[in-house]
Amino acid sequence: MMKIEILPSLLAADLGNLKDGILRVAESGADALHLDIMDGHFVPNLSFAPDTSALCRKVLPAGFPINTHLMMTNPDKYALTFIEKGSTTIQYHLEMRDLVDIRALAEAIHAKGMRVGLALNPDMPAEVALPFIDYADEILCMTVFPGYGGQAFIESVLPKITQLRKAAPTIDIMVDGGVNFETAERAARAGANQFVAGSFLFKQTDMKAAVTELRQRCEQAFSACII
């Protein structure tokens, strides 16, 4: 059984009190903090910067993982900066494979002892990821088109998750976008084992209880995984 991981996305925190949002994640029993970085080119929106990773590192308990999702056209320019600022996983998009050397960037991240996540937008077929899968520690299947929190989960991504799970039975497969109790269960049943949730977790008055229930539901659904 693969480890089920829950990752609250800081994008949904109260930006007027980011420190409080980071502490809520730390105290929720979550496995990592998901930090969304948007560049205004790869996605239409802008979000955080490397210094946000430094703030997370300062506020989080020592060793708490910072899972950093680079929604950028040039992740190779910023990946090592985010690692210097405390990020422990760097995720970047296979949509950029013609402009970014996917393998070289994975090797540079691994050389720093950090984890590599390769991300696919909802319309990117699994076949594109398969040649790169050996470079990655995790595959991030976007279940919304990235750029904004609070969007609806795209169900048609589920067969792709199953296809990737069959191709790579032991790799971590993450879903990001529109995750709540029900959609997380469907993704877990399809083969996902890591779950990013932004608005759903931050709107809870008791984030810890929600993380606990989300984990239990995902563990049960993953054990009934359809493959």
- Which residues would be at the binding site for ligand DX5 (CB under 6 A)? 9, 11-12, 34, 36, 69, 144, 146-151, 176-179, 196-200
Q: Which is nearer to ligand DX5, 39 or 219 (CB)?
A: 39
Query: Alpha-carbon distance 55 to 166, whole Å?
Result: 38
Under rule CB under 5 A, residue 176 binds Zn ion: yes
Question: Is residue 176 flagged as an active site residue?
Answer: yes
Tokens of 95: 């949509």
Q: Which of ligand DX5, Zn ion, none does residue 210 bind to, with CB < 5 to 8 Å depending on kind?
A: none
Query: Alpha-carbon distance 56 to 66, whole Å?
Result: 8
Q: Which of Zn ion, ligand DX5, none does residue 114 bind to, with CB < 5 to 8 Å depending on kind?
A: none
At closest approach, how far in Å is the CB of 162 from ligand DX5?
A: 21
Q: Which of Zn ion, ligand DX5, none does residue 122 bind to, with CB < 5 to 8 Å depending on kind?
A: none
**SS3 letters for 91-134?**
EEEHHHCCCCCHHHHHHHHHHCCCEEEEEECCCCCHHHHHHHHH
At closest approach, how far in Å is the CB of 176 from ligand DX5?
A: 5
* Per annotation, catalytic residue among 14, 51, 176, 206: 176
Question: Is residue 36 flagged as an active site residue?
Answer: yes
Query: Alpha-carbon distance 27 to 13, whole Å?
Result: 14
Q: Rounded to 10 degrees, what is the CA torsion of 40, 176, 195, 202?
A: 60
Question: Which residues are tagged catalytic?
Answer: 36, 176
